[in-house]
Amino acid sequence: MNGGWIFLTRFLRDPIGVGAVCPSSRILARAMTNGLELSPGDTVIELGPGTGAFTGYIDKIIPDSDDYLGIEQDVKFVEVLNNQFPGLRVIVGQAEDTHQIHLDSGYKPVKAVISSIPFALVKDNAQIKIVDDLRRLLPPGSIFRTFQYLHTYRLPLAARFRRRMDEISTTFYRSKPVMANIPPAFVLTWIV
């Protein structure tokens, strides 16, 4: 099975959890990794790598593959990623537990979190838990980056997630719409 087909079958099984019908485009992957300046020893955590649309691009910009940690809730996706990226550590886990997973992992402090969690569909109680977890995880100067689709950007849960992130960070910026993606999306960056 190719990546796109696996993605679609997992979406049909769990549409809200997967949150998209197909993997993100290369253009969105470039926008998600654009301008991230990483030094050796900077930990990068990817939340919800799926079939790895961003993972190879993250691998290209991190000085050392040992500094990457992927956390994905879907066992099938983790299987795909472990085959495709044997040099990267991807585990089955929940974004809600990122701080504890990081503590247990022995990794150095986190410089960037690249997230694909579909926050426009994530209920308030889970959002609050994840943002509180990020507050404990992310040191000053670190970056949290995600994307939100244009058509879901104004949904109440999407807007509430942005407000919650604003509360734990100092700076926010939004990219121009990335039209070469299905569906088009904004890249959102917070600096803590």
- 90: three-class secondary structure by DSSP: strand
**150 in the Ramachandran plot: left (φ > 0), alpha (ψ -120 to 50) or beta?**
alpha
Closest to ligand SAM by CB, 141 vs 183, is 183
| Smallest separation, CB 170 to ligand SAM (Å) | 25
Residues between 134 and 163 that touch ligand SAM (CB under 6 A)? none
Contact between 19 and 118 (Cβ < 8 Å): yes
Cα–Cα distance measured from residue 15 to residue 73, given in angstroms and rounded to the nearest whole number:
13
Q: Can you tell me which of 31, 36, 53, 81 binds ligand SAM, judged by CB under 6 A?
A: 53
Phi and psi (nearest 5°) for 63? Answer: -60, -30
Q: Can you tell me which of 95, 137, 138, 143 binds ligand SAM, judged by CB under 6 A?
A: 95
Binding mask 107-136 for ligand SAM (x = CB under 6 A): ---------xxx------------------
Residues between 160 and 179 that touch ligand SAM (CB under 6 A)? none
Pairing state of beta strands 143-149 and 171-174? unpaired
Contact between 20 and 118 (Cβ < 8 Å): yes
Q: Can you tell me which of 73, 84, 100, 152 binds ligand SAM, judged by CB under 6 A?
A: 73
Q: Does 45 bind ligand SAM (CB under 6 A)?
A: no
Residues that bind ligand SAM (CB under 6 A): 17-20, 23-24, 47-50, 53-54, 71-74, 77, 94-96, 116-118
